[in-house]
C-alpha cells in the first residue's frame, strides 16, 4: 500500500512506516503532522486518483528530527565589470515518519429548514429588467474614400552642357 501526497509544495511517494525528508516544518520533535493532500492512493485492491485530491483519506505522521543540508555556495559575477559576490547558505529540513493511513471524518453540513424566499423590489432597489429583444444587425456602408491627392512630380535632371574644347 502506498500513496502520493503533496506537502510543502512538493510531491512524495509514501508507505506506512517510511520516512521522508521535507523542507523545515515548524514543530517540536515528536509532534504530529497530518498529510491531508493525498493525490493518489493504491491499497492493493483499489486505486484512487484525486481530482485534484482524494476525498476522505488522511495520513498521519510525526516529526523525527530536524537538520541542515550541506553548505551551498552562491557565486554571482558579471564578466568584464569587476563585479563578484560570494555567499553561502545551509537549507534546513525535517525528517517525518509516515504513520497510519486512515479515512478522515466527514463533517455533516447543516441544511436550513426553510428555503430562502425572494423579496419584492422596493424603491431603493432596482426592479428586475425584462429580457430585451435583439434587433437584427444592420450593416452600415463603409465611408467613401477620399481621392488621393497627387504629389508634385520630381524635378527632371537637366543634362550637363558639353565642355567646350579650345582649338
**DSSP class of residue 155?**
P
The stretches of 4-138 forming alpha helices (DSSP H) are none
Whether 59 contacts 38, CB under 8 Å: yes
What is d(CA 107, CA 159) in angstroms, rounded to the nearest whole number? 101
Whether 89 contacts 73, CB under 8 Å: no
Enter the pTM of the model.
Answer: 0.57
What is d(CA 34, CA 141) in angstroms, rounded to the nearest whole number? 69
What is d(CA 76, CA 161) in angstroms, rounded to the nearest whole number? 72
Walk along the chain (167 residues) and give the pLDDT tens digit of each residue.
Answer: 889 999 999 999 999 999 999 999 999 999 999 998 999 998 888 899 988 899 888 899 999 999 999 999 999 999 999 999 999 999 999 999 999 887 766 554 444 444 445 555 566 665 556 666 677 777 778 787 777 777 777 777 777 777 777 76
Task: Name every residue whose Cβ is closer than 8 Å to that of residue 31 and which is 6 or more positions away in sequence.
Answer: 62, 63
Q: Which three cell numbers stand for residue 129?
A: 429588467
Domain boundaries, the chain: 2-103
pLDDT attached to residue 110: 46
Amino acid at each position: 500500500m502506498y500513496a502520493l501526497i503533496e506537502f510543502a509544495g512538493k510531491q512524495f511517494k509514501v508507505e506506512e512506516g517510511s520516512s521522508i525528508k521535507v523542507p523545515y516544518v515548524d514543530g517540536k520533535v515528536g509532534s504530529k503532522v497530518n498529510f491531508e493532500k493525498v493525490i493518489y492512493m493504491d491499497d492493493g485492491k483499489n486505486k484512487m486518483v484525486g481530482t485534484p485530491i482524494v476525498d476522505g483519506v488522511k495520513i498521519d505522521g510525526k516529526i523525527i528530527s530536524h537538520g541542515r543540508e550541506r553548505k551551498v555556495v552562491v557565486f554571482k559575477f558579471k564578466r568584464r565589470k569587476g563585479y563578484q559576490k560570494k555567499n553561502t547558505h545551509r537549507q534546513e529540513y525535517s525528517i517525518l515518519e509516515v504513520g497510519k493511513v486512515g479515512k478522515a471524518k466527514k463533517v455533516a453540513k447543516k441544511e436550513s429548514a426553510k428555503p430562502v424566499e425572494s423579496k419584492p423590489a422596493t424603491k431603493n432597489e432596482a426592479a428586475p429588467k425584462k429580457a430585451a429583444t435583439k434587433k437584427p444587425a444592420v450593416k452600415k456602408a463603409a465611408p467613401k474614400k477620399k481621392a488621393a491627392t497627387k504629389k508634385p512630380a520630381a524635378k527632371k535632371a537637366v543634362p550637363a552642357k558639353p565642355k567646350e574644347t579650345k582649338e
